[in-house]
Structure 1
Amino acid sequence: MLSRRSLVKNSGAAMMAAKSLVFAAPAAAATATGPTALPVRDQFVTPQFEVCLNNARWHPLSNGARKATEAYLEYKARGVFNQSSLTSPASLAVRASFASLINAHADEIAFVNSTTAGENQVVAALGLTRPATSGPQPNIVTDAMHFEGSLYLYGELKKRGVDVRIVKPRGWAIDKEDVERAVDKNTRLIAVSQVSWINGFTHDAKWLADLAHAHGAKLFLDAVQAAGCMPIDVRASGVDFIASASYKWLMGDFGLGFLFARADVLPTLERTQWSFRQFREMQYHALPGDAPGPFPATFDQLQTAAGHFEVGTYANAVLATLSDSLPWIQRIGVTNIQAHAHQLNSTLRREMPRLGYECITPEDAGASIISFRVKDDAATASRLKKANVDVSLNPGRMRVSPSVYNNESDIQALLSALA
């Protein structure tokens, strides 16, 4: 009878198991000698079907990532489980890849199912879901250009009596002085989108981290529109928490993302959810033949980000996708990806106003998004549909977001459709 259940987390033993894991090898090797010059149209199917300039919505899979996913699905179809632990080698590789992408340590990375899920966990771990019952009231500072789901989160906390301060934009940007005025000695968290999904407005991460720390607060960044298309360095910026889904610029899919929590912050956090992913090993003390000990079991708790925040199984198919896409992104280099998008967007910044579409993206925006005012939503949508050009349209606004497979002809197709 088994009295010991080893989960072997973040260990060399799990890495050795990769040799017996059918889908691990194709995923790791799918694009080992991939291209580095941009654009890379032959690595994606999308250009054959439409002019897709809507990668900030969700990013198409590369051919290599698709093959890695298919290899996993073929393995899963066999019904054979041949790992030596419940922690897959692919998960270790993907965790390490994302950590490398943002200059973090793998122990500072937890898997979460979405950006907003990570943000909710951070707020809870800081004890900010309810107002204080005594003493000074802690507050949260955010801004109106944060993600809509996050604004809903903070709106609900405000209804509970939490002191939530929402900084208003000036035009299409958030002014540093307005943020500074909102922060005080009782601020416990500044939570914003590093890159706004609305128009690509980009916060100065280091400035925000310095501001938060000067007041004894922490900084959370929603990086879903930043990770994979612009450089992120958590060491240089000093950010405390970053969350990002993987289906946008990380070229993964829905249902699996990342939460970074700085190692020296972890011991100060409250654990608010519990799962078998949060301990390395357990020892039963309740069944015949078990070693004596406290009933019913003892646990070797992980002191990592995973040990604080992972609350369930992860999506293995998305892990397979990311095991190809993350190394591929790093081989190309996010600075090259950023420069390529900015070059394409510079044409739009110059030409779109001549067609009556005012640019509403600040010139110092860091990522791949550029947005414009739209005077006639229906006419614009009709022209784009007729030309088979895909961008994101919201009432009164258009968001364009080119990626690694887009070229100047795609930009000209958009301009021609609207001319």
Structure 2
Amino acid sequence: MTMDIAALRRDTPACASFVHFNNAGASLPPAVVVDTVVEHLRREAEIGGYEAQAEAAARLEAVYGSVARLIGAEPGEIALVENATRAWDMAFYSLRFGPGDRILTAQAEYASNYIAFLQVARRTGAEIVPVPSDESGAVSLPELDRLLDERVKLIAITHVPTNGGLINPAEAIGRRARAAGVPFLLDACQSVGQMPVDVEAIGCDMLSATGRKYLRGPRGTGFLYVRRALLDRLEPPFLDLHAARWTAPDRYEVRPDARRFESWESYIAGRLGLGAAIDYALRLGLPAIRDRVFALAERLRARLAELPGVAVRDVGARRCGIVTFTRAGEDAAAVKARLGAQGIHVSVSTAAGTLLDFEARGIPDLVRASVHYYNDESEIDRLVAALASG
């Protein structure tokens, strides 16, 4: 599919005001997402929150189908939650670990996930084993094979780390997890929305994602996928009257579907906005989105590499829409502030986000410029010119 970039930019009015290269933080939503959220909030003001929810029941139910189509799942395998961290936590803390059990993860694993590993290891005596990276920076598959034994109770990997263009080999990891009978939890926070993600092709048992990043949805939205075959083995770390039913004074029954991981109270306008964002992406097509995003990112890397004193820091044999770099003599926060003053949005990655990876690479911080399909080539030129003039 050929994208009409001019039309997509008109559908994103803020493109006329500044250059937004912070899509791995929070993308600019298209007009339909903004309108969907605002219209529902207005309807709540007009008739009441419960009444507006009842009126939108069919549209809310349709969001589960949209998420399922997006990742190749079934609607009953989807839970809608507040954010990707909550989605990931609900899956991870449903698993049971004991002394000597092993959790295999990546060197570039995200801080929120690793902190949860540390907490569970402290409570249970489980061990955290980071799989060494290969020469490209991705999870080493031979090292994974070496470590994958009867002690391993979970493989938990971030598909696209927050601090670079790397795409970890999720499908190859999934094949190994299936063969070993080990649950595989994939953090797809940065990959869903910028490339096709199919849970059957990947072979993951659980997947967490957010609305605000490459899906271009509202903040405060996310989802969890749990494979149906695993559902009955997982009881969420906490329950309410939506996740379970109180059947007798001393008994309850957990829901049979993935909505056992949800709470009764939720951001209804945001859920509708998430559905609108997913439907927007599906209409464009994830292969077309991937091709556009990856091409823009490679163009940006090439232009940055031409600048004296600028070093592109991305790793990985396959790279996505996240571009990271450093500039000699200027820390990342200063670069961000200088670009921001010129109407160019980027972000900063530090060791606080991926400690093991930063320590291994000996880098104190990085500037992160993350592109999306609505960015254009002139914006890349503008970023490069701003860096060159500093």
TM-score normalised according to structure 1 size = 0.80
Which stretch has the larger CA shift, 95-104 or 200-209? 200-209
State the identity as a percent.
Answer: 26
> CA 1:86 to 1:126, structure 2 compared with 1: closer, same or farther past 3 Å?
farther
Number of residue-to-residue matches in the alignment = 366
Kept after mapping to 2: 8 A contact 1:38/1:340: no
Partner of 2:126: 162
Note if 1:66 corresponds to 2:34. yes
Note if 1:126 corresponds to 2:95. yes
Q: Among residues 366, 372, 380, which one is paired with 2:325 in the alignment?
A: 372
**How many angstroms apart in 2 are the aligned matches of 1:154 and 1:299?**
29
Q: Among residues 150, 153, 162, which one is paired with 2:113 in the alignment?
A: 150
Q: Among residues 246, 253, 256, which one is paired with 1:303 in the alignment?
A: 256
Q: What are the equivalent positions in structure 2 for 1:306-317 lying under 5 Å apart?
A: 306-307=259-260, 309-317=261-269
Larger radius of gyration: 1
Partner of 2:197: 232
The residue type equivalent to 1:398 in the other structure is: V
Structure 2 regions of 5+ residues with no counterpart? Answer: 350-363
Structure 2 residue matching 1:77: 3-state secondary structure: helix
Kept after mapping to 2: 8 A contact 1:273/1:311: no
Partner of 1:116: 85
> CA 1:382 to 1:235, structure 2 compared with 1: closer, same or farther past 3 Å?
closer
Structure 1 residue matching 2:368: 3-state secondary structure: strand
Partner of 1:25: none
> CA 1:83 to 1:398, structure 2 compared with 1: closer, same or farther past 3 Å?
closer
Note if 1:348 corresponds to 2:300. yes
The residue type equivalent to 1:93 in the other structure is: A
> CA 1:106 to 1:366, structure 2 compared with 1: closer, same or farther past 3 Å?
farther
Residues 128-181 of structure 1: CA deviation (Å, up to 9, x unaligned): 3xx24xxxx321111231111111111222333221112344574332223333
Kept after mapping to 1: 8 A contact 2:9/2:374: yes
CA shift, 1:380, in A, is 2.8
> CA 1:228 to 1:245, structure 2 compared with 1: closer, same or farther past 3 Å?
same
Which stretch has the larger CA shift, 261-270 or 365-374? 365-374
Partner of 1:389: 344
Structure 1 residue matching 2:38: 3-state secondary structure: helix
CA shift, 1:295, in A, is 4.2
The residue type equivalent to 1:191 in the other structure is: A
Structure 1 regions of 5+ residues with no counterpart? Answer: 1-34, 283-293
Note if 1:212 corresponds to 2:177. yes
Which stretch has the larger CA shift, 247-256 or 223-232? 247-256
**How many angstroms apart in 1 are the aligned matches of 2:145 and 2:204?**
17
Note if 1:255 corresponds to 2:202. no
> CA 1:364 to 1:331, structure 2 compared with 1: closer, same or farther past 3 Å?
farther
Partner of 2:278: 326
Partner of 2:45: 77
Residues 311-358 of structure 1: CA deviation (Å, up to 9, x unaligned): 332211211212321111100011111111112112122121221322
Partner of 2:104: 141
